[in-house]
Structure 1
Amino acid sequence: MTMKRLATVLAVLGGLFLLYTGISYLLAPHATAEGFGVPTLPEGRGKGFLEVKGMRDIGFGLVILALLLAGQRRALGLAMAAMAVVPAGDMLIVLNENGPAATAFGVHGLAAAVVAVTAGLLLRERTATA
């Protein structure tokens, strides 16, 4: 598999995963939040904040897919480099809230690494000259 194809596959999977996660937060906010790694509020409390997180994830997923579909691979690389701070920040939040280290590193840390690697692959691509 070429590096360009790998970057494309990782970007598509990342965009689709974010859409799935965001929709999950909208449809079942408390159930989805349990896997995030921080203590959740009792059912019915804080639902709006969980839905905001869902919309954030949907927005990021759409940005990834839109830039990919538009052929804006360099812009996608830059956007994903910037977006890598989100799961890295999520990891730090989980650790700061005494959440499970396995979730902090295995979910959020791994996501940050994959997003950063994808960004790096996209930014390393050579653009064709006219």
Structure 2
Amino acid sequence: MSRKTVNTVLITAGILFIGYVGVSYVLTPETTAPGFGLPHWPSGDGDGFLILKGIRDIVSGLVLAILLVTGHRRALGWVLLATALTPLGDMTTVLAHHGSAAVAFAVHGLTAALVVLTGLLTLRETRTTTAPPAPATR
């Protein structure tokens, strides 16, 4: 299996995962939120913040999907690296608000690591190699 195929499978799995999480937060925020790792969640009108999280996740997946479908693989690698800041920020937020350290590291930390790995693999796939100059002929 080629490096490009492996990267495409990893990227597609990531897009489907973040899309599923986003849709879950939009449709059923009250049942999805406890898995995030924070000890307390907004209730009443505050549930709107959970839907915002879902929309953020859906848009993140769409941006990656557009880059994948249009073949902009180098840009996709860089965007993956930037996108890894989201789960890293989520992990930091959970830890800073005395949430579950297990969820912070196992869910958000692992997600950030996998996104970085996929981004680096994609950038490596797109790295251009320069051939040595052809010898001059006389």
TM-score (ref. length: structure 2)? 0.87
Could you tell me how far apart the structure 1 residues matched to 2:15 and 2:62 are?
7
CA contact (8 A) 1:33 1:40 kept: no
2:134 is aligned to: none
Question: Relative to 1, partners in 2 of residues 1:119 and 1:38: Cα closer, same or farther, differing over 3 Å?
Answer: same
Q: Deviations over 1:4-58 (max 9, x none)?
A: 2221111101111111111000110011110000023354241111000000000
Q: Point out the more displaced range, 103-112 or 6-15.
A: 6-15
Moved over 6 A (4+): none
CA contact (8 A) 2:88 2:112 kept: yes
Identity %: 53
- What is the CA RMSD across the aligned residues, in angstroms? 1.6
Give the partner amino acid of 2:49.
F
Contact 2:37 2:104 in 1 (8 A): yes
Where do residues 103-118 of structure 1 align in structure 2 (5 Å cutoff)? Answer: 103-118=103-118
Unaligned runs of 5+ in 1: none
For structure 2, list consecutive stretches of 5 or more residues without a partner in the other structure.
130-138
Distance 1:13 1:32 in 2: 20
Quote the residue 2:11 is aligned against. 11
Kindly tell me the number of residue pairs found equivalent between the two proteins. Answer: 129
In 2, Cα distance between the equivalents of 1:119 and 1:42?
33
Q: Match for residue 90 of structure 1?
A: 90
In structure 2, C-alpha distance between the alignment counterparts of 1:50 and 1:57, rounded to whole Å: 11
Of structures 1 and 2, the larger Rg is shown by: 2
Equivalent position SS for 1:47: helix
How far apart in 2 are the matches of 1:42 and 1:126? 43
Equivalent residue, structure 2, for 1:120: 120
Measured in 1, the distance between the counterparts of 2:80 and 2:42 equals: 34
